[in-house]
Amino acid sequence: MVRIGGVAEENTGGNVIFLAAGSRLILPSGWVTSLSIGIPAVNDLNGIQSEPALRMLFGISRGF
């Protein structure tokens, strides 16, 4: 339990573990794109909080 201004805040914190699959595309020019999609596998939140849903991560980078 977290205390904010001396008052106990029960609706904060917890743990979520996502099960995810992804892929990466490496281009000859050095550019890299990646995509990962995850679903919550373990959801242990404290108190009343919004439930996690599908999570998608996308990235672009360049190696040199």
Structural domain of 35: 2-62
Stated pTM of the model: 0.68
Concatenate the DSSP letters of all residues of 5-61 into one string: TTEEE-SS-EEEEEEEEEEEEE-TTSEEEEEEEEEEEEEEE-SS-PPP--EEEEEEE
The tokens 């909080």 sit on which residue? 49
Phi, psi of 50 (to 5 degrees): -70, 140
- By the 8 A CB rule, do 49 and 43 touch? no
pLDDT of 13-61, one tens digit each?
899 999 999 999 999 999 999 999 999 999 999 889 998 999 999 999 9
Question: Considering its fold, how many domains does the chain have in total?
Answer: 1
Q: Which tokens go with 49?
A: 């909080």
